[in-house]
Amino acid sequence: MTIHHCTIDHCTIDHFTIDHDGVTIAVSRGGRGRPLVLCPGLNSTQADLHELAGLLRRDHDVVTFDLRGHGLSSAAGDYSFQSFLGDLGAVLATVLATAGGSGAAPLLVGYSLGADLAVHHAAAHPGGIAGLVLIDGANPVPEPFLTPDVLPELRAMWTDLAARQQARRGTPRQVLLGGDEIVGLNAEIDVVRAAILDRYRAIDVPISMIMSTAMAGEGDGIAQRFNRNWRAGIERLVRQRPHITTSWLEADHGLVFTHAPEIAQLVRSASGRAGRAAS
């Protein structure tokens, strides 16, 4: 493992890679305090999360990384949910094995798909993390999103997104997945979320949810339907797991980019709860 150092705002950031499952995962680490692993979501990179990561580094030892096919990580032949889950597991194993920091179990923060990955990892590795902060993901929605009536529209949207992302190739914000791969993964996420309540039942650390009030935007029709489904999923979760702390931000699914200061403060509060629970 080769480590390169850089300094941003008087904070030294280490950049290195992890070889896992035939893929090279790009990782960055810097800051001070409780260790925190920040997992991006589908079509987002650690470069996209730079504002939130920078705020959290003020009082956390922050690890960020790029999922396969994203950012500075390499392409892969497999973009399934399980393959992305393996990427997160490889990063966390390296964090726990690497000397330095406080030696405390890390707080795991996941955005969108990253939140679903965080729940699945925590459920399968009891005692491995101090707490979870889930940002607009891991939602046990009562209805799937990719129903036959909206699939053509969503397929066209994601195909267009994949085409536009071609302009980012060769940059820290590149995303190499094609439209069909994005559609396939979203269909898999629907299946994952249909059973995710069982995963929550296996987790015994503090969990905080940070959710958008208008996940699909402010439009009519499909947007309103998706937003109702999104809120209904969290209401369902809290009924079954009332100890979960939930915060709502007046935002759409891009809240992690538009509301980084508010999210950073909520993460700090969650980190404090996780620390008290562990002591």
Q: Residue range 197-218: average pLDDT?
A: 97
Question: Which of the four pLDDT bands, split at 50, 70 and 90, describes residue 238?
Answer: very high
Q: Which residue has the tokens 């809240």?
A: 255
Question: Which of the four pLDDT bands, split at 50, 70 and 90, describes residue 102?
Answer: low
Cβ atoms < 10 Å from Cβ of 24: 15
List beta partners, residue 233.
none
Q: What pLDDT, on a 0 to 100 scale, did the predictor assign at position 101?
A: 47
**pLDDT per residue over 127-184, tens digit each?**
999 999 999 999 999 999 999 999 999 999 999 999 999 999 999 999 999 999 999 9
What is the DSSP secondary structure assignment for residue 50, as one 8-state letter?
A: H
Q: 0.75 exceeded by the pTM?
A: yes
The residue ranges of every structural domain in the chain are 4-145+193-278
Is the pLDDT reported for residue 4 higher than 60? no
Burial of residue 271 (number of CB atoms within 10 Å: 0-12, 13-18, 19+): buried
Q: What mean pLDDT is reported for the chain?
A: 93
4-145+193-278: CATH, from 3.40.50.1820, 3.40.190.10, 1.10.760.10, 3.40.640.10: 3.40.50.1820
